[in-house]
């Protein structure tokens, strides 16, 4: 159990660290830290308004058509989509309007005519078609997203008009066009000579409000206002992003006024959030629930092939204790993979209640017994041991992992925690080299359609977790039918089967309906939460 921090101790600790840092700066630079801070402040004033942010990982090459190591929040700063997701609705963005054919297989988009890329080149039908074709050329990599599978072609019907033709009517078409990747638009000068963006791009040239102006890999990146931006210009001149992998170091940098804003799930521990909030010195906010924090349980690995073992884990985890003592009430307890108010997700499912006796009985039924004077259960001479993998940079996941480890120890399961940097953690999700692994849902507006679509492809932990299920083939077929269904009643029946099967097979351990948290200095104004989990609206922020 994670206990609330001792604030007096923590304050003393931070003061000691800050003093050491100050002495190191003096020793290295021959300049007192106070003078250096004054110089930096004067420099910032001369350069204009600057908001200083931090990320646990480098922003990556900012390829709009690819995934890790590209960071989604940074891709979203530079690149834009034809349509945008706002308050539960899809609204025009780079396309002013669209028309849909009677058979639902053709979408004609009428593009804005006042849009330029950051290098001054025109945004038009030619570049839209080129970007879509670049994504289609790498279709296998994007096959987790059914929209890419369903696009037949994209054609230019005029300088500012594009028609996207589909193989079948596809109800989430517009929602998936609003996603941060892969269907966003790179300027002509950003394309490599081959036109193949699956390997690299020349430069991150987009139509968004920000342009990358300075960058040192694994250290920092600097984004300045795109002077060619067609929309409302950002209120500050620059966003500077330092790479700070460790959450406690991020808190120290924030208190030392080296960064202005902390934002996002897992960026700092909930203990640190509580501590900063209770100082009364800073502004804090919590978003509405955006996604589900969950753990995928691999149905094809060792003891977890037995449904009784998976169900025992569900019953042994005291989620309410996590909500109260790790999240301090910032998240709401999750009994199902998606909240009931998400589309097609209001399914009558019986929660796995916290019941240690039931968990122990399930393990006994599975043949895992607890020998006298031993801590962990055994079967045929083997110890009941599982690994739980998490992203070492996610401070919240680490805290949850420690609680689950303790809860499963109580019923005789030995859990080994595996914390790895983001890229290695992502590889485990993809290749299935895990027993249990954190696997949050994508959130609005991906869920449930894009999330269940990805379950059919080994690109996320979901496929690997489910591959051991006896009904996996049928499950994948039902997912395809749901995505392509044109009848609402039929679609709901299919989603009911999908979500009920996943719940009853206990391949997910839902934890909470997750929120984004932010802490910021009082001179930062206009901070808002993004519509999507990975969207940070820097353009709305101001600095006094």
- At 26 the pLDDT is 36
Residue 189 Cα distances to 32, 117, 121, 130, angstroms: 45, 10, 9, 12
Give CA–CA dist 433/461, Å, rounded.
10
Give CA–CA dist 79/73, Å, rounded.
10
pTM of the model: 0.85
Q: What b-and-e string marks burial along 228-237, b requiring 16 or more CB atoms within 10 Å of the CB?
A: ebbbeebbbb
Chain segment 230-251, per-residue pLDDT in tens: 999 999 999 999 999 999 999 9
More confident residue, 279 or 3: 279
pLDDT at 3 over 50: no
Give CA–CA dist 214/224, Å, rounded.
9
CATH class of 291-514: alpha beta
- 9-18, 48-57, 298-307, 512-521: least confident range: 9-18
More confident residue, 15 or 244: 244
46-49 own/partner pairs: CB under 8 Å, 24+ apart: 47/237, 47/238, 48/236, 48/237, 48/238, 49/235, 49/236, 49/237, 49/238, 49/542, 49/543
Q: Give strand ranges (E) for 58-195.
A: 83-86, 89-92, 95-100, 106-111, 151-158, 161-166
Of the options 3.30.9.10, 1.10.10.60, 3.40.190.10, 3.30.365.10, the CATH number for the domain spanning 80-190: 3.40.190.10
Asked if the domains at 48-61+210-287+516-543 and 80-190 fall in one CATH topology, the answer is: yes
Residue 482 banded pLDDT, cuts 50, 70, 90: very high
Chain segment 270-297, per-residue pLDDT in tens: 999 999 999 999 999 999 999 999 999 9
- At 422 the pLDDT is 85
* Average of per-residue pLDDT values in the chain: 91
Determine the average pLDDT of the residues in 186-205.
96
Give CA–CA dist 197/210, Å, rounded.
21
Give CA–CA dist 43/151, Å, rounded.
50
- At 395 the pLDDT is 85
Q: Report yes or no: 186 and 133 within 8 Å, Cβ to Cβ.
A: no
Based on its alpha-carbon atoms, the radius of gyration of the chain, rounded to whole angstroms, reads: 25
pLDDT at 39 over 50: no
Q: Report yes or no: 453 and 483 within 8 Å, Cβ to Cβ.
A: yes
Chain segment 503-541, per-residue pLDDT in tens: 999 999 999 999 999 999 999 999 999 989 899 999 999
- Taking the mean position of all CA atoms in its chain, how far away is CA 136? 24
258 forms beta bridges with none
- At 47 the pLDDT is 66
SS3 513: strand
Q: Which of these, 357, 381, 358, 356, lies nearest to 368 by C-alpha position?
A: 381
- At 34 the pLDDT is 35
Of the options 3.50.50.60, 3.40.190.10, 3.90.180.10, 3.40.50.10860, the CATH number for the domain spanning 48-61+210-287+516-543: 3.40.190.10
Q: Which of these, 424, 343, 335, lies nearest to 69 by C-alpha position?
A: 424
DSSP annotation of 271: H
Structure tokens belonging to residue 133: 């074709």
Determine the average pLDDT of the residues in 307-323.
97
pLDDT at 20 over 60: no
Question: Would you kindly state where each structural domain of the chain is located, as residue ranges?
Answer: 48-61+210-287+516-543, 80-190, 291-514
- At 167 the pLDDT is 98
Determine the average pLDDT of the residues in 331-353.
95
pLDDT at 17 over 70: no
């Amino acid at each position: 159990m994670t206990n609330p921090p001792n604030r007096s101790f923590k304050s003393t600790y931070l003061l000691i660290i800050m003093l050491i840092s100050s002495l190191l700066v003096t020793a290295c630079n021959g300049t007192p830290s106070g003078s250096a801070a004054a110089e930096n402040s004067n420099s910032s004033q001369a350069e204009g308004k600057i908001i200083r942010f931090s990320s646990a990982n480098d922003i990556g090459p900012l390829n709009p058509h690819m995934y890790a190591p590209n960071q989604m929040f940074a891709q979203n700063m530079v690149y834009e989509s034809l349509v945008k997701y706002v308050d539960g609705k899809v609204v025009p963005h780079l396309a002013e309007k669209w028309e849909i054919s009677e058979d639902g297989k053709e979408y004609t988009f009428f593009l804005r005519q006042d849009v330029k890329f950051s290098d001054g080149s025109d945004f038009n039908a030619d570049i839209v078609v080129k970007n879509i074709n670049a994504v289609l050329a790498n279709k296998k990599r994007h096959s987790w997203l059914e929209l890419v599978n369903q696009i037949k072609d994209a054609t230019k019907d005029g300088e500012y008009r594009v028609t996207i033709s589909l193989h079948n009517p596809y109800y989430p078409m517009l929602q998936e066009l609003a996603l941060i990747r892969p269907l966003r638009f790179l300027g002509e000068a950003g394309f490599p000579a081959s036109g193949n963006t699956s390997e690299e791009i020349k430069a991150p040239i987009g139509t968004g409000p920000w342009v990358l102006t300075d960058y040192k890999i694994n250290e920092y990146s600097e984004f300045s206002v795109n002077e060619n931006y067609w929309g409302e210009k950002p209120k500050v001149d620059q966003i500077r992003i330092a790479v700070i992998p460790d959450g406690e170091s991020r808190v120290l940098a924030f208190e030392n006024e080296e960064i202005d804003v902390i934002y996002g799930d897992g960026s700092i521990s909930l203990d640190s959030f509580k501590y900063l909030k209770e100082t009364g010195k800073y502004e804090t906010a919590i978003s509405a629930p955006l996604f589900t924090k969950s753990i995928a349980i691999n149905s094809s690995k060792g003891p977890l092939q037995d449904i009784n073992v998976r169900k025992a884990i569900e019953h042994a985890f005291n989620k309410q204790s996590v909500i109260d003592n790790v999240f301090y009430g910032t998240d709401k307890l999750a009994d199902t993979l998606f909240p009931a108010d998400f589309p097609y997700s209001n399914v009558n499912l019986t929660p796995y209640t916290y019941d240690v006796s039931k968990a122990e009985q399930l393990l006994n039924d599975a043949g895992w017994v607890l020998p006298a004077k031993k801590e962990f259960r055994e079967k045929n001479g083997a110890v009941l041991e599982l690994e739980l993998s998490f992203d070492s940079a996610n401070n919240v996941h680490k805290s949850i992992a420690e609680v689950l480890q303790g809860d499963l120890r109580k019923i005789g399961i030995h859990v080994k925690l595996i914390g790895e940097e983001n890229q290695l953690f992502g590889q485990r999700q993809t290749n299935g080299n895990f027993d249990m692994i954190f696997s949050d849902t994508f959130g609005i507006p991906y869920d449930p359609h894009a999330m269940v679509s990805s379950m059919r492809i080994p690109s996320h932990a979901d496929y690997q977790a489910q591959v051991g299920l006896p009904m996996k083939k049928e499950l994948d077929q039902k997912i395809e039918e749901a995505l392509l269904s044109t009848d609402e009643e039929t679609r709901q029946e299919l989603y009911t089967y999908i979500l009920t099967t996943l719940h009853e097979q206990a391949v997910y351990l839902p934890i909470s309906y997750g929120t984004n948290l932010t802490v910021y200095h009082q001179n930062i104004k206009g901070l808002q939460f993004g519509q999507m989990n990975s969207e940070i609206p820097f353009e709305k922020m101001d600095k006094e």
